[in-house]
Structure 1
Amino acid sequence: MWTQRRMDPAVMRQIFVFIEGPLTEEYGMDNEEIEKLLMEADDFVELIRYHWASDINGFPNERQRRLQLAAILLLAAFTGSRPQALLDLTYGDLDLYIEKNTETHADMLRLGVKLTKTKSRQKRKRPKTYTFNLDDNPIFCVITHVVSLAFDDSAFGPPDLKSPDILFRLRARREKGCQPIPWRNNMLDVPVFRRAVATKEGVKTSPDKALTYNVYQAWVKRLGEALGYLQTLTTYCLRRALGNAINDDPKSNAAVRNLALDHVGSSTIFERNYLSRMIRYSTQDAFWNRDGDPQAAKSASRIGCLRDPNRPRKLTDEQSQQVRQLPSVRRLLESRDRVRGLILREFGVLRMAVGEPIHAEYKKLERMVNSTIRAEERALLKCSQRQYDETAPVEAIQRQIRGISAEAQELALESDSTQIKIPERRQIAEAAMSDPAVFTGLKALSRHIKCSSTMIALCQRRERRSTREISSATKTGLAAGVHDTHSLPPSSTFERIFPLTCQKHQCLFCLCSDLPQEDREKRYAGKHSLQRHAERCRLRHFQEQEQIPCPDNVACRGIVLEGKSHFKNHAASVHHFIL
């Protein structure tokens, strides 16, 4: 009800005085300002490279996680904009064109990004536009990422503009010196960065719903945790870094900085909220009137200075079991199990009690158990991290004093590269780690074309989310069953004539999907795990009597089953997929 409404300044002042005064004193609140670190260029390069080459988090599809997140991070670093302004970008806000350089007469592909949904628009609509050129390295090029997303959406207006090879070789018109590249009219209001939605065919990218801030920020936070940052990584680390970089640049001025950061009026907002509290100037060298090293003074404010890849990121199995043995958790588990026993005695199975008060009580207790376990796990993880932060520096110094070198261990950790299953992502990761200086002229253009084509193909790929491992004996049995002619994956080099058959606890939907082979052939820990997976991922999108096509579109092409019961009978008798 109070959205987009401004409170009376006098009321806000009273609230501020109450919080800073009686409330702080009564509850012993800490009102000390936390240091807001910056993500400088070196840290940002490391972040993007880790994102492509080492990140092991699984997500709905590679467009959602890899390409969209990388593009948003690049825009956040180069524009300093607030995250919501970037998430709300539509194709109508992008101006792609080819311009002829007046000095070299070379044709340059450029991208104009107009930010219209900024915070200042609440007072007055004053959009601002940023212009981007092709970067030497396509992994750090905004244009390459945006055009790859546009090709995946078929957003270009010219019907024959169907590949990056055609786009990157277009020329500007002689009479005007500029060649605009239009979008399709029905794509102008479509968000560039869109969320994932669950459908009957699996997880797809929404045709019209923008990516939400909560999902995006969770991805960024998880990426920072994987890198070992001690503080939470947010988009504002990039926003503050750009503001301080513009402020330190003698060629810039306060007006440019305020426009880039969308600050209206004086520099008070920047100085109070964005200027690093770490003095980015060598006062020691200034006192002695000697030339100093500016980078040494600036490095203290980098978020990368507080990075430790060995810092605990999750609890061990023993710690997780320890949480479940806590008295508060055990009491809730006993209450839940007691209600569950009453349901089973009266109804036989849990699902028969759906809609009854006792079932609602059971679900409430189950939610309480899960929330309590998560809260206790978070508290224990913070305690483990705090203990590590206290002991790790002491142990490292002790090893140095005793002459025990940890370089071999550190090198082993750094060289332990992540196994990338998707070939397109592997190619992009190799490009991210290569030196762009060796690619000049036509080689540089070909590199952009190849990278964009790979990104477009990557948008259609996906990787299974990580789950707990199964036993080695089960893995051995799976490996032995992979070569069964009846269980060949859909990507086999010859046409199958027999239906796919599932090994024990294998999913037919996964086996017929476009997942990497290892994920297609995954076997779940038990029957109930398989049932939950099949119901959550596919079957819940169908009504009880709705027609369900058989996933095996090679041997069972055109077969449609009448309802879930008919599908389960067919899956069990033909494909050995027992639910």
Structure 2
Amino acid sequence: MRYPSDNPKDLYCTSMTDQDQIFNEGEDLFLPNSSTELETDINSNGDGDDNDNDDDGDGNEIRLFGGNAYPPVYYRQDYQAFNNEDLAVGDYAPGVEQTLAKIAEQWEQFCTAILRQDAQQCFATVSSALLYNFLNWRLNQKEGKNGRRMKGFKTKSSLVTYWDNFRLFFERSRGMKLEPKINRVMHQGLRKLAKIHGLSDQRRPNRCMTIDELKEHNETTLNTTQKSFDLGELRVLAVLFNLLIAPAGARPQAILRLRFQDILIVLARDPAGGPHKLLIKFTPEFTKTYLGAKDCKTYTIPEAIGDPSFLLSPHVFLLGILFRHKAFRARGLVSSRQLDSLPIHPGELELRIPLRQDLHNVCVFRKAAKTVTGFEMTIEPITYSMMATWIRRIGEIMGLQYSTIPYNLRYNAANEMDQNPRVSEATRNLALDHGSSVPFQRNYLGRAIPLDLWGIMRGQNPQHALVKQSCTIGHSISKRRPTALTAEQAASITTHPDIRRLEKQLRGLSPRSKACKDTRRKIRNEKQRLKRALLQKNRDDWTEQQAVDDIERHLQGRDFPVVASENAALPQRPAQKRLLEALTTPGDGTLEDYYRRRCAAVDAIVTYCPVEEGRTPGRRTTQGPLIPGTPPYNSGYHSSSKDDPVSQAMLSVFVKSKKDRPKRCFLCIGAARSLGWNDPQLPQLLREFYTPGDLTKHFRHRHLSLIKEDETLTCQVCELPLEHKMHIQNHALRVHGTVS
């Protein structure tokens, strides 16, 4: 008999009267045949004597069922239906599960399409020859589903990782591990395949990012306009991420998945005396889940009162995010000024500052989504690839030779803990989630030894600082290092043989056919790939080429050339200037001045979070004034009259007849009304399209496609509420002449 419900509790009543009714209806599961026998068994065992050996089986079953959630029949059936394979499957993270699913799909393709055999049959007759040819086939694959380019292998270590994942897939599919003999032979095969396919045997440099380099990285993140974020809050979160991972050395994914309930703000007494200090306690819960979840660890960061700069203060950036979302449970706590005077009860050491309960399951690091008129924060967490892309781009703007990754900060934390005599080996392994010291020695201990070994051997004063500087990721920093292709280099991509072949193929296709769309997509993707490869080659070759050029210039008596400014960079917004100024303004060393500067920095972060930055501009977005006869927007011109550029743009989007077709977007102009007169985003919002048809394409793709059928919207130009999507389209055509 099987239960119709997934929860067997649902079938059993909570009162003995209901149980007797069910049992007496003829269900002969485990009870005596009559109620008299039931009473006799209960009375005989209810006097407290030790008569267990004299009880029969039915009496024991009755007594067990009396205080348990399930009857014995439930456990009998689970015992009979138990499947050993349910426990044989490893407990892996979602990312590993996706990798194993891809390997399973590729194994199925290889067996059915190449060998013309069943995948399970191939497993039954697995051999080193079969596995070697499978890996060789995988290395030769360039395109995947729908003609998309597959991620290839560049290093031998990535091939070894793929092989390790394949062994997990084999063990899961067959319920047994691969034979040791085949595994040993395949290690020889991996080395041979790496040579045949030209894979590099050098691992990724595990250089550290020191605290001084982190400070410059944060300053570049806040100062640059070569990299834009959809919202100012994302720029702040990019800095906060670095400031949380740097002291803890936690895995980047664990920091990205921090929720508000994982963070605790505490005001604590200083045992050494002085003012109360803020403590940040955060407990990453979503750590690496290989072979089960790890024990949660809490990291505590005390406030460093007297810092000359807040670029290395996680307290300021976190408080800015918390006050931005009004995250404190105490409703009256709305400003950082109120934190300065909070008291701690006499006889107590700490005062907790709780956060709102409705934010407990909300991630701190969240994405921003495009809306009809701008961007807004969502509840979807920022992915590792997105954060890694931001950090790598900032590293390029800084002029670093090696690509910066979040693990640079984890490497630094691991090495600093290893070299500090106050941190034991066990504490280091606990903080890094390592079961032993082997992972640290293999992956985290810098392969560029940061010690003056020759000075030690000679008995001289070791120059450790100099050697350490040369071994970090910032040793090669240079603002002259190229960060983008020149116009000539970008134009040279069109002469590449692959691009010419695809464009020739495109000319023979019907303009609206699916093959034409696919070919256009291939051309676009191939151009992007070639541009990235060319830029990386330029960056790799630049160091030695520029060194030779500098030497020759010096020998010829010439000075260093002036570094050309980046034309594509937009001017800073006023809020961005205020933010950087508030974070870097030095103080006079007094406690009152520190509180004043901290409050100003938090307020600047709160103000900058809702600022819409938009997408990073391309190289060809620079243009002059969009409205003839008006001065540039950054020239200091401002007027509240009709001569104001925004006012002129508003007047230009109203039609006088049904045949009028303006060339400006009324929704973009409505969004421009809320911006400052010198905001760099104004030219993009007030621009005039070349034709009304171009405006129609913009309106459809940029605005209309994001509107749901029952979504309401307000026309900021007319200050008129629009009830649904059809109403918006009707208003756009009738009032503003925009065809959709």
Smaller-chain TM-score range?
Answer: 0.7 to 0.9
**Over aligned residue pairs, what C-alpha RMSD do you find?**
3.3
Deviation digits for residues 515-556 of structure 1 (CA, Å, limit 9, x no counterpart): 45442243256346544443333211125x767644325x43
Displacement after TM superposition at 1:181 (Å): 0.8
Specify the alignment match of 1:350 in structure 2. Answer: none
Q: Which amino acid aligns with 1:160?
A: G
The CA distance in 1 between the partners of 2:696 and 2:487, in whole Å, is: 24
The CA distance in 2 between the partners of 1:309 and 1:565, in whole Å, is: 49
The CA distance in 2 between the partners of 1:61 and 1:470, in whole Å, is: 21
Contact 1:314 1:381 in 2 (8 A): yes
Q: Is 1:370–2:543 an aligned residue pair?
A: no
Change over 3 Å in CA distance of 1:552–1:55 after alignment to 2: closer
Specify the alignment match of 1:348 in structure 2. Answer: none
The CA distance in 1 between the partners of 2:179 and 2:316, in whole Å, is: 49
Displacement after TM superposition at 1:170 (Å): 1.7
Q: Is 1:424–2:547 an aligned residue pair?
A: no
SS state at 1:305 partner = coil
Contact 1:226 1:309 in 2 (8 A): yes
Specify the alignment match of 1:213 in structure 2. Answer: 384
Contact 2:225 2:570 in 1 (8 A): no
Contact 1:420 1:426 in 2 (8 A): no
Contact 1:55 1:223 in 2 (8 A): no
Q: Is 1:247–2:410 an aligned residue pair?
A: no
SS state at 1:394 partner = helix
- Alignment of structure 1 residues 468-483 onto 2, 5 Å: 468-469=620-621, 471-472=623-624, 477=629, 479=631
The higher-RCO structure (CA 8 Å, 6+ apart) is 1
Change over 3 Å in CA distance of 1:125–1:211 after alignment to 2: same
- Alignment of structure 1 residues 563-578 onto 2, 5 Å: 563=727, 565-573=729-737
Name which of structure 1's ranges 141-150 and 474-483 shifts more when overlaid on structure 2. Answer: 474-483
Specify the alignment match of 1:107 in structure 2. Answer: 276
Deviation digits for residues 491-521 of structure 1 (CA, Å, limit 9, x no counterpart): x9xxx9x955359744322322244544224
Q: Is 1:273–2:443 an aligned residue pair?
A: yes
Larger Rg: 2
Please point out which of 36, 57, 71 is paired with 2:206.
36
Change over 3 Å in CA distance of 1:105–1:470 after alignment to 2: closer
Specify the alignment match of 1:535 in structure 2. Answer: 700
Q: Is 1:194–2:356 an aligned residue pair?
A: no
Q: Is 1:388–2:557 an aligned residue pair?
A: no
The CA distance in 2 between the partners of 1:94 and 1:15, in whole Å, is: 50
Specify the alignment match of 2:78 in structure 1. Answer: none
Specify the alignment match of 1:526 in structure 2. Answer: 690
Deviation digits for residues 62-90 of structure 1 (CA, Å, limit 9, x no counterpart): 101x1110100111111111110001100
Contact 1:139 1:428 in 2 (8 A): no
Please point out which of 512, 516, 519 is paired with 2:670.
512
Change over 3 Å in CA distance of 1:484–1:125 after alignment to 2: closer
Displacement after TM superposition at 1:106 (Å): 2.3
Displacement after TM superposition at 1:308 (Å): 2.5
Displacement after TM superposition at 1:380 (Å): 2.3
Change over 3 Å in CA distance of 1:499–1:558 after alignment to 2: farther
Contact 1:61 1:460 in 2 (8 A): yes
SS state at 1:452 partner = helix
Contact 2:209 2:473 in 1 (8 A): yes
Change over 3 Å in CA distance of 1:15–1:310 after alignment to 2: farther
Specify the alignment match of 1:346 in structure 2. Answer: none
Specify the alignment match of 1:335 in structure 2. Answer: 505
Contact 2:233 2:609 in 1 (8 A): yes
SS state at 1:558 partner = strand
Specify the alignment match of 1:70 in structure 2. Answer: 239
- The percentage of aligned residue pairs carrying the same residue is 22
The CA distance in 1 between the partners of 2:328 and 2:179, in whole Å, is: 51
Name which of structure 1's ranges 459-468 and 190-199 shifts more when overlaid on structure 2. Answer: 459-468
Specify the alignment match of 2:158 in structure 1. Answer: none
Contact 2:366 2:382 in 1 (8 A): yes
Contact 2:663 2:695 in 1 (8 A): yes
Contact 1:547 1:563 in 2 (8 A): no
Q: How many residues align?
A: 546
Displacement after TM superposition at 1:447 (Å): 0.8
Contact 2:710 2:723 in 1 (8 A): no
Specify the alignment match of 1:127 in structure 2. Answer: 296
Please point out which of 426, 430, 434 is paired with 1:263.
434
Displacement after TM superposition at 1:473 (Å): 7.3
Please point out which of 285, 288, 307 is paired with 2:458.
288
How high is the TM-score relative to the length of structure 1?
0.85
Displacement after TM superposition at 1:169 (Å): 3.0
Q: Which amino acid aligns with 2:529?
A: A
SS state at 1:97 partner = strand
SS state at 2:377 partner = strand
Q: Which amino acid aligns with 1:427?
A: R
Q: Which amino acid aligns with 2:230?
A: P
Name which of structure 1's ranges 468-477 and 518-527 shifts more when overlaid on structure 2. Answer: 468-477
Contact 1:461 1:515 in 2 (8 A): no
Change over 3 Å in CA distance of 1:231–1:10 after alignment to 2: farther
Specify the alignment match of 2:251 in structure 1. Answer: 82
Deviation digits for residues 463-495 of structure 1 (CA, Å, limit 9, x no counterpart): 2331433554757555489969558578x9xxx
Specify the alignment match of 1:237 in structure 2. Answer: 408
Change over 3 Å in CA distance of 1:480–1:256 after alignment to 2: closer
Q: Is 1:17–2:187 an aligned residue pair?
A: yes
Change over 3 Å in CA distance of 1:547–1:442 after alignment to 2: closer
Displacement after TM superposition at 1:402 (Å): 2.3
Contact 1:172 1:178 in 2 (8 A): yes
Displacement after TM superposition at 1:196 (Å): 1.1
Specify the alignment match of 2:154 in structure 1. Answer: none
Displacement after TM superposition at 1:115 (Å): 1.6
Please point out which of 310, 318, 324 is paired with 1:138.
310
SS state at 1:60 partner = coil
Contact 1:98 1:178 in 2 (8 A): yes
Change over 3 Å in CA distance of 1:391–1:322 after alignment to 2: same
SS state at 2:446 partner = coil
Change over 3 Å in CA distance of 1:463–1:286 after alignment to 2: same
- Alignment of structure 1 residues 411-560 onto 2, 5 Å: 420-435=571-586, 438-465=588-615, 466-467=617-618, 468-469=620-621, 471-472=623-624, 477=629, 479=631, 485=641, 488=644, 500-502=651-653, 505-513=663-671, 514-516=674-676, 517-522=679-684, 523=687, 526-527=690-691, 530-542=695-707, 549-552=713-716, 555-558=718-721
Contact 1:53 1:418 in 2 (8 A): no
Please point out which of 343, 346, 353 is paired with 1:174.
346
Any stretches of 5+ residues in structure 1 without a counterpart?
Answer: 344-357
Contact 2:625 2:631 in 1 (8 A): no
Any stretches of 5+ residues in structure 2 without a counterpart?
Answer: 1-88, 98-164, 172-176, 655-661
Displacement after TM superposition at 1:239 (Å): 0.7
Q: Is 1:161–2:333 an aligned residue pair?
A: yes
Displacement after TM superposition at 1:139 (Å): 2.7
